[in-house]
Amino acid sequence: MSSSGLGHLVAVLSNPPTTSGARTLARVELARQVLGYDTASVANIFSIATYRTGGISVSGADPAGWEASHDLLRPAIDAADAVLLAYGRQEPSGPARIHFRAQVAWIRAEVESRNLPTWSVDGQPRHPSRWQRHTYSRFPLLPFQEALPLVLTRSSPIQGLTV
Domain boundaries, given as residue ranges, for the chain: 8-161
In the CATH scheme, what is the code of domain 8-161?
Answer: 3.40.50
74-89 pLDDT, tens digit per residue, is: 999 999 999 999 999 9
For residues 32 and 107, the answer to whether their CB atoms sit within 8 Å is no
In this structure, what are the phi and psi dihedrals at residue 41, rounded to the nearest 5 degrees?
Answer: -145, 170
- Residue of 118 and 160 predicted with greater confidence: 118
Whole-structure pTM value? 0.91
d(CA 20, CA 28): 14
pLDDT band at 162 (very low <50, low <70, confident <90, very high): very low
d(CA 48, CA 27): 21
> What is the structure's pLDDT at 95?
95
89-112 pLDDT, tens digit per residue, is: 999 999 999 999 999 999 999 999
pLDDT band at 156 (very low <50, low <70, confident <90, very high): low
> What is the structure's pLDDT at 96?
96
Q: Crossing angle, helix 95-114 and helix 64-78, to 10 degrees?
A: 20
| Nearest by Cα to 40 from 159, 128, 104, 156 | 128
Amino acid at 55: G
1-51 pLDDT, tens digit per residue, is: 445 689 999 999 999 999 889 999 999 999 999 999 999 999 999 999 998
Q: How far is CA 29 from the centre of its chain?
A: 13
113-145 pLDDT, tens digit per residue, is: 999 999 999 999 999 999 999 999 999 999 999
For residues 47 and 15, the answer to whether their CB atoms sit within 8 Å is yes
